[in-house]
Copies of this chain bind each other. A is one copy, B any other.
């Protein structure tokens, strides 16, 4: 019987996703400890949020059942990313850092963590959709790095070799795995939906990805499924005004505190950037790198608060009404989509019209849908669809990544 294994887990961020993740971690740890014939013991050894931290010099396990009150009551010093890396790198077992924040400073430190043998699982888009240099540094440092992905010499724009350039096996030899950490970030696109893993499988098995298209924002999905539902609102008469839909979405908790953070398209642009890079394109950071259509009227970009923005958005309903009417006259519906034309190295984020029978048109609620057009799949794409936002499903993607790392660690 093999010896039991111990893996340490460090969690940063205890917001919506972090809270759900900690509950899932607790259930997973309990199950894996009973895993016959080789139990795995997951121990939480570090927990922090912006102003609080919990850890100890001997890496004693923190109880998962009382994390919230323990963290509330802690008076320990908050650590910088470098200090966290220092603490974790000296731990007597392999460590997985779970970054449930959207913190740029922590993202910037990923290469450091990876080089020191710490694996990373995260829904934090900052690390993967910001500067191309950071992306390259992360993958260069990771044990499952794709050396040539997104900007190796084979991945030049428009080159026929761009899709296959990204396909590099995770080196799983003992030395490679032992010296550096693994990195997974499934939840950065489509939350828990199997999007990045599917793209990686397509590329790794030698398929040629031609185009990726989809609805990547739960908020914008909800807005347009309501603003212009299939079978309703023809001629613009059926649905309510755009500003009314935004207000409804905000009331239901589907938007960011300031809805402009959804309507400016940057979140979608970040996700599209991640997909493009994984497909082998050396895409610079959005929004400068490619066209991103903002739905925030220029006149309202500068208003002080989200509330003021919402109060005045109705003044601009005319423009969106016209968009809806024009689409309806052609028998189409409007949706806010992102797309990557891999073969022509073109990314685009904004409004498009679709036939009512198109999978993107038929979306419901706040679902995401992602379509992969590839050589092997031909005219009908491989489609993944479902909830692409929410604490539980986002945390599920993180927990799934943690399980992947546990399988690779030895």
Judging by beta carbons under 8 Å apart, are B38 and A205 in contact? no
A204 contacts B by Cβ under 8 Å: yes
B382 touches A386 (CB 8 A): yes
A362 CB to closest chain B CB (Å) equals 6
The 10 A-B residue pairs whose C-beta atoms are closest, nearest first, are: A2-B175, A382-B386, A2-B173, A38-B171, A383-B385, A38-B173, A205-B399, A201-B400, A376-B392, A172-B407
In the assembled complex, A396 has its CB within 8 A of some CB on chain B: yes
From A3, A170, A386, A406, residue with most partner B Cβ within 10 Å:
A386
Q: Quick one: which of B2, B202, B382 contacts A385, CB cutoff 8 A?
A: B382
Q: Are B357 and A403 touching (Cβ within 8 A)? A: no
A27 within 8 A of B: yes
Q: How far is the CA of A130 from the CA of B147 in the complex (A)?
A: 43
Tell me the chain A residues, 166-210 only, with Cβ under 8 Å from chain B: 167-177, 192-194, 197-198, 201-202, 204-207
Q: How far is the CA of A5 from the CA of B170 in the complex (A)?
A: 13
Copies of this protein in the assembly total: 2
Report the bound CA distance from A37 to B179 in whole Å.
Answer: 12
Bound-complex Cα distance A132 to B177 (A)? 37
Residues of B with C-beta under 8 A to A376: 192, 387, 392-393, 396
CB nearest to A20 among chain B residues: B376
A37 surroundings in chain B (CB, below 8 A):
171, 176
A207 to B397, CA, bound (A): 11
A213 in the interface (beta carbon within 8 A)? no
CB-nearest residue of chain B to A383: B385
A204-B403, A380-B387 known; 16 other A-B pairs, CB under 8 Å? A3-B173, A28-B205, A38-B173, A172-B407, A192-B201, A194-B194, A194-B197, A204-B400, A230-B357, A367-B380, A376-B392, A382-B385, A382-B386, A407-B407, A407-B408, A410-B410
Q: Which residue on chain B has the smallest CB distance to residue A375? A: B392
